[in-house]
Amino acid sequence: MNNGTMTSSMFFQWLRNKLRRASMYWKPTAQVRKEAQVPYKGPNKRRKYSYVCSCCGKEFAATGVDIHHKVPAGTLTSFAELSTFAERLFVEKESLECLCHSCHNQKHEK
């Protein structure tokens, strides 16, 4: 693929990464992040907001939270899986939640 510069696995990994990055700008994803946002009350004068984990209830910096899909988007290893992956990735806000890295990892371990 890509004029012989990528294997099929590399191509679908690249495509999956690009779609996941694009999903960060999906309006429902932004709404979930905005709803978890609270004013920051700590000593760092440059930080304006914290984000509340919907599982543990603790506050984190923007880099400390992930937007979790309640129904996993799944894998993308072929063009046949593309529509299913996109449907599960670009969902409404009821299917998303804001979690800290620790809670997000725990949910994926189950």
pLDDT in tens, 50-92: 999 999 999 999 999 999 999 999 899 999 999 999 999 999 9
- Are 9 and 16 spatial neighbours (Cβ–Cβ below 8 Å)? no
CA distance 96 to 10: 28
Domain limits, the chain? 8-109
CA distance 68 to 72: 8
pTM here is: 0.84
